[in-house]
Amino acid sequence: MHRPVRVHLEDYLQGDGPEGAASQVVSHLLECEACRAEVESMSSQARLLRRLKCGEEVEAAPGFCARVLSAVEAGRRGSVFLAIADPAFGRRLIYACLTLIFVLGSYWWYAERSTPWEEPGAVGILAVDTPAGAHVGSDRQRDREAVLLSLATYRE
């Protein structure tokens, strides 16, 4: 929709407003087919809405406003954010968090823990039993590891 129609559309549909504005809208509608089709559909909708308009002003029944406000207030009480403030919910949340910490801690403690002789470090080399008949010079790799172990664990 173009600017002259967009600015003065409501005045044109209601039939009031400055005379120059209505003439601008009419002259534009004579030139522009797209705006004319859109204004015609809006005009038919405005006529339908005018037919639905009540002839006299209707007053609300006594207590209507109070019932509406109480319904709105009841809707506020059921908010998710207010459920967090409930002490029972808070306790359940704390227990759930503690349980989760316990379960994850137990998993970490048992799954990540390994015995020293399973690791190929100095303690693991010392903890492994030497096979019968093994002596210095029989296995070069074992001799190297033993020397490195001695050097790594040496203290004065």
Q: Are 39 and 14 in contact (CB under 8 A)?
A: no
Assess whether pLDDT exceeds 80 at residue 14.
no
Assess whether pLDDT exceeds 60 at residue 10.
yes
pTM check: above 0.85: no
Domain spans in the chain, listed from the N-terminal domain onward: 3-52, 81-113, 116-152
Assess whether pLDDT exceeds 60 at residue 36.
yes
Give me the chain's average pLDDT, please.
77
Assess whether pLDDT exceeds 80 at residue 137.
no
Q: Are 103 and 109 in contact (CB under 8 A)?
A: no
The rounded distance, in Å, linking the Cα atoms of 66 and 77 is: 17
- For residue 98, name the pLDDT band (cuts at 50, 70, 90): very high
The position carrying tokens 């005009």 is: 43
